[in-house]
Amino acid sequence: MEIVHVYTKLHSEFGRQCLFSDRPAELLVDVPADQSLASQFTQRTRRDQSLQASRDMSEHRVNTKRFESESCGLNHEEGGWPKDVNHQVMEQTIRFRKKVEKDESYINSILQLGSVMEHCIRQNNAVDIYQDCFEDGEMPEEHQEPPSAKTINVFRDPNELKRTVTGLSWHPDGGEKLAAAYSCLEFQKTSRDMSLDSYIWDIENPNRPELSLKPASPLVCLEYNPKDCHSLVGGSYNGQIAYWDSRRGSQPVETSSVEHSHRDPVYKIIWLQSKTGTDTFSASTDGQVLWWDVRKLSEPTERLVLDPSREGNPERALGAISLDFESTMPTKFMVGTEQGLVVSCNRKAKTPTEKVVCTYDGHQGPVYALQRNPFFPKNFLTVGDWTARIWSEDIKESSIMWTKYQMSYLMDACWSPVRPSVFFTVKMDGVLDMWDILFKQNDPTLSLKVCDEALYSLRLQDNGRLVACGSQQGEATLLEISSGLSTLQKNEKSLLAAMFERETKREKILEARQREIRLKERSRSEQSRSEDGGREDIDQSPLQLMARAEEDFYVLTETEKKGKEREDQDLSSEL
The predicted-structure confidence for 297-337, as pLDDT tens digits, reads as follows: 888 888 888 887 777 777 888 888 988 888 777 788 888 88
Rounded Cα gap, residues 400 and 502, in angstroms: 9
Model confidence at 136, in pLDDT bands (50, 70, 90)?
low
Q: What is the side-by-side order of every strand in the sheet holding 356-361? A: 320-325, 332-337, 341-346, 356-361
Residue 230 has pLDDT above 80, yes or no: yes
Query: What pLDDT, on the 0 to 100 scale, is given for residue 426?
Result: 92
State the Cα angle at 157 between 154 and 158, rounded to 5°: 110
Model confidence at 359, in pLDDT bands (50, 70, 90)?
confident
Residue 24 has pLDDT above 80, yes or no: yes
Residue 92 has pLDDT above 60, yes or no: yes
Identify which has the larger pLDDT, 409 or 539. 409
Rounded Cα gap, residues 477 and 432, in angstroms: 11
Query: What pLDDT, on the 0 to 100 scale, is given for residue 135?
Result: 59
pLDDT digits (tens, 9 = 90+) for 33-56: 888 888 888 878 888 877 767 777
Query: What pLDDT, on the 0 to 100 scale, is given for residue 316?
Result: 80
Query: What pLDDT, on the 0 to 100 scale, is given for residue 76?
Result: 64
Which residues are CB-neighbours of 169 under 8 A, at least 6 positions away?
178, 179, 222, 223, 224, 232, 459
Residue 531 has pLDDT above 80, yes or no: no
Which residues are CB-neighbours of 537 under 8 A, at least 6 positions away?
545, 548
Rounded Cα gap, residues 399 and 441, in angstroms: 14
* Other C-beta atoms lying within 10 Å of the C-beta of residue 258: 13
- Minimal CA–CA distance to 380: which of 390, 394, 395? 390
**Partners of 153 in beta bridges:** 478
Rounded Cα gap, residues 196 and 255, in angstroms: 15
Q: Does residue 7 come out as left (phi exceeding 0), alpha (psi in the -120 to 50 range) or beta?
A: beta
- Minimal CA–CA distance to 322: which of 436, 410, 238? 410
The residue-averaged pLDDT of 162-186 equals 87
Query: What pLDDT, on the 0 to 100 scale, is given for residue 142?
Result: 52
Residue 575 has pLDDT above 70, yes or no: no
Q: Helices 90-101 and 104-126: crossing angle, nearest 10°?
A: 90
Query: What pLDDT, on the 0 to 100 scale, is given for residue 467?
Result: 92
Rounded Cα gap, residues 421 and 415, in angstroms: 8
Model confidence at 1, in pLDDT bands (50, 70, 90)?
low
Query: What pLDDT, on the 0 to 100 scale, is given for residue 134?
Result: 63
Pairing of strands 254-255, 241-245: antiparallel
Model confidence at 570, in pLDDT bands (50, 70, 90)?
low
pLDDT digits (tens, 9 = 90+) for 541-565: 677 777 777 787 778 778 877 877 7
CB 177 within 8 A of CB 169: no
pLDDT digits (tens, 9 = 90+) for 445-495: 889 898 888 898 999 988 888 999 999 888 899 998 888 888 888 888 888
- The average confidence (pLDDT) of the chain is 83
Residue 380 has pLDDT above 70, yes or no: yes
Residue 59 has pLDDT above 80, yes or no: no
pTM: 0.64
The residue-averaged pLDDT of 154-171 equals 88
Rounded Cα gap, residues 19 and 17, in angstroms: 6
320 CB-contact burial (10 Å; exposed 0-12 / middle 13-18 / buried 19+): buried
